């Protein structure tokens, strides 16, 4: 399903560290035309912050208990049980998601960096959102150290980014 679309997606990835950064992206990245999926919504606090800024939002979490609590706290919003690693179930929600928020316990640290990257590329390839905003301090640090090689014509800009030689 995903293979022939790999490396062709246009999705932007916004890596944030901590819940404050995760939530402060909302007014910048969410607009009234967006259909938003939040993965790892817990009791729905971030879902409720996203809701007034978009056309539609669905909050999801792997835990049926937290989804029950989210529904109690925010009866006007839609919440569903969903395992982040089951992208087929996300596809089956049948929505043209334009933005995806991801905040699942365990994918923020360096030990789960590969899981975080696998998750992001899977969602980008299958659901093709414009942007995925993820809470992962490790990914944020990793991304800040990445420089895509653009050919020898760009050597001067690489030199500026390289550590000074003695």
Ligand X SMILES: C[S@@+](CC[C@H](N)C(=O)[O-])C[C@H]1O[C@@H](n2cnc3c(N)ncnc32)[C@H](O)[C@@H]1O
Residues binding ligand X (CB under 6 A): 19, 39-42, 45-46, 61-63, 66, 83-85, 103-105
| Strands 99-102, 131-135: pairing kind | parallel
Which of 56/73 has CB closer to ligand X? 73
Q: Side by side, which strands form the sheet with 78-81?
A: 12-16, 131-135, 99-102, 35-39, 56-61, 78-81
Which of 102/124 has CB closer to ligand X? 102
As measured in angstroms, the least distance from the Cβ of 24 to ligand X is 12
Q: Which of 160, 107, 101 is nearest to 134 (CA)?
A: 101
Which of 21/83 has CB closer to ligand X? 83
Which of 89/128 has CB closer to ligand X? 89
User: 3-state class of 100 per DSSP?
Assistant: strand
As measured in angstroms, the least distance from the Cβ of 137 to ligand X is 13
Residue with the two structure tokens 């089951």: 86
As measured in angstroms, the least distance from the Cβ of 40 to ligand X is 3
As measured in angstroms, the least distance from the Cβ of 65 to ligand X is 9
Number of C-beta neighbours around residue 84 at 10 A: 21
């Amino acid at each position: 399903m995903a293979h022939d679309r790999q490396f062709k997606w246009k999705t932007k990835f916004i890596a944030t560290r901590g819940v404050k950064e995760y939530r402060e992206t909302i007014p910048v990245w969410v607009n009234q035309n967006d259909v938003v999926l939040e993965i790892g919504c817990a009791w729905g606090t971030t879902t409720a912050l996203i809701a007034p800024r978009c056309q539609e939002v669905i909050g999801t979490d792997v835990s049926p208990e937290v989804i029950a609590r989210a529904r109690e706290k925010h009866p006007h919003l839609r919440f569903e049980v969903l395992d982040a690693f089951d992208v087929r179930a996300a596809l089956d929600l049948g929505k043209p998601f334009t933005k995806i928020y991801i905040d699942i316990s365990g994918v923020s640290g360096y030990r789960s960096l590969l899981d975080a990257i696998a998750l992001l590329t899977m969602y980008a390839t299958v659901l093709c959102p414009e942007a995925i905003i993820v809470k992962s301090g490790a990914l944020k640090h990793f991304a800040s150290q990445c420089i895509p090689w653009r050919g020898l014509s760009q050597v001067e800009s690489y030199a500026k980014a390289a550590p000074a030689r003695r």
